[in-house]
Structure 1
Amino acid sequence: MSQLLSLVVPCYNEEATIEIFYNEILKYEKQIDADLEFCFIDDGSRDKTLSILRQLHAKDERVHYISFSRNFGKEAGLYAGLSMAKGDYVATMDVDLQDPPSLLPKMWRMLHTEGEEIDCIATRRDTRTGEPVLRSFFAKLFYKFINAISKTNIVDGARDFRMMSRQMVDAVVADREYNRFSKGIFSWVGFHTVWLSYDNIERSAGETKWSFWNLFRYSIEGILAYTVVPLYAASVLGIIMCVLSFLALAFIFIRSCIWGNNVAGWSSLVCIITFLGGIMMLSLGIIGLYLSKIYLETKKRQIYIVREQK
């Protein structure tokens, strides 16, 4: 009996890429010794994404989809896709073809060549060609920082593109935490993972949904599991106050050297108060971020809400 490979593909406003992705997958299906199942997740798209998924489902019974009641984010989309996937093996990938379908046959062969020795073939980018220099710099900084403070290792350049055994997928789905960071969860559940590297590939069509700010927020969520905007503001304000206090101290020192200091003591006192105030606001912001994680977890809200499913 042939095995089943499920492809989990989150989509948000991807009307320009879905059919391109589907046709590209069909080019390589004969190289995979398994039946295919498409699991698309419409993450509350506002374009024609859902209409295209309906058409694909009507044309190909292997195409299944879930449409959310609103935009719940890519993490919720991945979780929904893994939950609905029925395959003996499951691959998660982006619809924009930055995760090349041409690697699927190789990933399949690697999983089966080693038998039970490998549970997951994961991918990482060797290069960031085409990506803004500033984004690449902060991405590398993020991986260095999170690996320095966390026991859960996250590989630099790791993608969500991976092929997993059913046992590993079940372990990931069993983790129902609300504040999800899939790269961390994939690593935390363990299992034997082999990494496959490839050069960065630009989108096939459409525009990226990941702005610099979105990536910054996502990196903070990876470190603290989750956060909220007002608490971000408290932390950022604390940092700004610290920087301003150092600048004020430098200004007052230079002024005193040039023109002298008419009122002794006041300048240093103001700098100390400003600095300590900034440190306290920064500390309160960090504590607040952790409290917000606890707050959101204790609510036990649904990770996503399904509006339509086929």
Structure 2
Amino acid sequence: MISIVVPCYNEEESIMLFYKEMEKIRKKIFVDFEYIFINDGSKDKTLSILRDLAKKDNDQVRYISFSRNFGKESALYAGLKFSTGSYVTVMDVDLQDPPELLPEMLRLIREEEYDCIGTRRVSREGEPLLRSLFAKQFYRIINRISDTEIVDGARDYRLMTRQMVNAILEITEYNRFSKGIFSWIGFKTKYLEYKNIERIKGETTWSFWSLFKYSLDGIIAFSEAPLSFAALVGIFSFLLAIIMMFVVAIRTLLFDDPTSGWTSLVVIILGIGGLQLFCMGIIGKYLGKTYLETKKRPIYIVKETENDIK
């Protein structure tokens, strides 16, 4: 059986279209499906549609409804935790993850003994130019400063063995970055490439700012390079101060020309002060993430499941 984990946030227009497309695939590959829809605090009719679908197909369809919006990372973790299949796949409900790749993914795992078959986009047609530019730069930066390789264009859409899923569930950190976790745990992985597919219905809830914050979370979660950068800035500032001290002393003793100038002094103070605040901000981000981890808050809170309507 394949467990299909599907995070949903305000996806009332896409759920039934996704379900119908996946049923076509199920009939082709003759494998049982277990749908696990996660309602991540939706404000539209997503939950009522999931209730109706679970009643209609109570052998295959399950759902988890959160008490509020906890984010996609929490939804992914909950779906993996509730899954029971021998294989587990993570998919977006908007059909940007092509279901027709699933038979080939299953074949590769069975015949070539892969632990995971992932997918990656080789184009970003239809995506805003600024978002595409920043996405490429993010992958370039994080792969230079992190020991964990994150494949450019890699999607959360992948088919995994139960062994790999269990390994992911052992990572219970509160601040999650699944793309990094998938790579960090290892296992034999192959990527299938495809061109970008636009949403069938609705609008994305990922704004540029939310993606930017998500990328920062990924950098902080899988790299200590920003901390090293802050330390290097401090060392450079100290060495520069020593050099300038000698320069001022020599000018005063040999040329009787003490350094003067209120403007230059203010510029230096503001410059050094700005660098200090910037470095403190970097340290503060790491400290804040550590603070959240020490609270041991749950990654998500379940309000309702399909069992509550039976």
Give me the TM-score of the superposition, normalised by structure 1. 0.85
Which residue, out of 49, 54, 60, partners 2:51? Answer: 54
- The secondary structure found in structure 2 opposite 1:6 is strand
Q: Are 2:283 and 1:287 aligned?
A: yes
Q: Secondary structure at the match of 1:91?
A: strand
CA shift for structure 1 position 225: 3.0
CA contact (8 A) 1:32 1:108 kept: no
Query: Secondary structure of the residue that 2:124 maps to in structure 1?
Result: coil
SS at match of 2:6: strand
Residue 10 of structure 2 is aligned to residue 13 of structure 1: yes
Residue 145 (1) aligns with residue 148 (2): no
Equivalent AA in structure 1 for residue 21 of structure 2 = E
The alignment partner of 1:38 has SS state of strand
Residue by residue over 1:66-118, the C-alpha shift from the partner in whole angstroms, topping out at 9 and shown as x without a partner, is 0000000000000000000100000001000000111111111111121xx30
Partner residue of 1:190? 186
Q: How does 1:98-117 map to 2 (within 5 A)?
A: 98-114=96-112, 117=113
Determine helix, strand or coil for the equivalent of 1:225.
helix
Structure 1 stretch displaced more, 55-64 or 28-37: 28-37
CA distance in 2, matches of 1:281, 1:143: 27
Tell me which structure has the larger Cα radius of gyration.
Answer: 2
- Kindly indicate whether the alpha-carbon contact (under 8 Å) linking 1:124 and 1:195 is maintained by their aligned counterparts in 2: yes
Deviation at 1:264, TM superposition (A): 5.3
Does the 8 Å contact 1:122/1:162 carry over to 2?
A: yes
Measure how far apart 1:266 and its partner are: 2.0
Task: Show the 5 A alignment for 1:128-139.
Answer: 128-139=124-135
| Counterpart Cα distance in 1 of 2:298 and 2:221 | 17
**How many residue pairs are counted as aligned between the two chains?**
270
Q: What is the one-letter code of the residue matched to 1:55? A: D
Measured after TM superposition, the shift of residue 207 of structure 1 is 0.5
* Residue 44 (structure 1) aligned with residue 46 (structure 2): no
Alignment of 1:1-310 (within 5 A): 4-61=1-58, 62-114=60-112, 117-225=113-221, 265-310=261-306
Identity of counterpart residues, as a percentage? 63
TM-score normalised to structure 2 length: 0.85
AA in 1 matched with 2:204: T
Post-superposition offset of 1:285 = 0.4
Distance, in Å, in 2 between the alignment partners of 1:163 and 1:151 is: 24
Residue identity in the other structure for 1:273: I
Paired with 1:35 and 1:48, the residues of 2 have a C-alpha distance of 27
Read off the aligned partner of 1:63 and give its amino acid letter: V
Question: Partners of 1:126 and 1:17 in 2: how far apart?
Answer: 24
Ranges of 4+ aligned residues in structure 1 off by more than 4 Å = none
Question: Could you give the per-residue CA deviations for residues 219-261 of structure 1, whole angstroms, max 9, x where no partner exists?
Answer: 00111139xxxxxxxx9xxxxxxxxxxxxxxxxxxxxxxxxxx
Q: What do the CA deviations read for 1:41-70 (whole angstroms, capped 9, x no partner)?
A: 000101000000001101112000000000
Q: Which whole-Å CA distance do the structure 1 matches of 2:262 and 2:14 have between them? A: 63
Deviations, residues 6-33 of structure 1 (Å, cap 9, x unaligned): 0000000100100010011111112224
Gaps of 5+ in 1: 227-234, 236-262
Distance 1:13 1:276 in 2: 46
Structure 2 residue runs without a partner (length 5+): 223-229, 231-258
Aligned partners of 1:294, 1:303: CA distance in 2, in Å? 15
Q: Which amino acid aligns with 1:50?
A: L
Matches of 1:166 and 1:25 in 2, distance apart?
Answer: 21
